Structure 1
Amino acid sequence: MSELVLYELEGCPYCAKVKNKLADLGLEYESVMVPRSHGERTEVEEISGQTGVPVLVDEAHDVEGMPESDDIVAYLEETYGESAA
């Protein structure tokens, strides 16, 4: 299992932004598709405390459920980008 896990929804533009950053950085990750209905998103709610996506889990850095695409993109750049040496 990958240490990076992305909870996402098909067709979600915020999820696409995060997936593009993961691809830019050449990072492998596990994708977990969540149900369309917010009421059925119990797994992502348990992890992040909310039902919105995307949500990132990064076990290598003790990130247990980071929401908000802009925050995730900034985190990925800071942690895995060129300046993260």
Structure 2
Amino acid sequence: MSLTLYALDGCPWCEKVHDALEENDLEYETEWTEPLHSERNEVKRVSGQRGVPVLVDDDHGVTMNESANILEYIDRTLA
């Protein structure tokens, strides 16, 4: 499985996604982003926007943002 989470250190929404991935024993990589939105070029490249968290699931061809959407995806698709 190839999961990448784009996250910001100290972001509570990112932590919720981290926790869900850990609780479901899913292997993933974390790409830590810059604090300033204007410097999150990698996030924009992969998701079209600069907000975090962003989860990229290469196996399913899915890229999504918004923690609530990601948590639902983890529960319905990956857990």
Name the TM-score, length of structure 2 as normaliser: 0.95
Which residue in the other structure is 2:77 paired with? 79
The alignment-based identity, stated in percent, is 48
Q: Which has the higher Rg, Structure 1 or Structure 2?
A: 1
Matches within 5 A, 1:31-70: 31-63=30-62, 65-70=63-68
- CA-based RMSD: 0.9
Letter in 2 for 1:76: I
Q: CA deviation at 1:49?
A: 1.1
Q: CA deviation at 1:47?
A: 1.0
Q: 1 CA distance for matches of 2:31 and 2:78?
A: 21
Q: Deviations over 1:38-62 (max 9, x none)?
A: 1110110111111110000000100
Letter in 2 for 1:73: L
What stretches of structure 1 of length at least 5 have no aligned partner? none
What stretches of structure 2 of length at least 5 have no aligned partner? none
3-state DSSP of counterpart to 1:7: strand
4+ runs of 1 displaced by more than 6 Å? none
Q: CA deviation at 1:36?
A: 0.5
Q: 1 CA distance for matches of 2:59 and 2:47?
A: 17
Q: 1 CA distance for matches of 2:36 and 2:17?
A: 21
Which residue in the other structure is 2:2 paired with? 3
Between the two proteins, the alignment pairs up a number of residues equal to 79
Q: CA deviation at 1:66?
A: 0.5
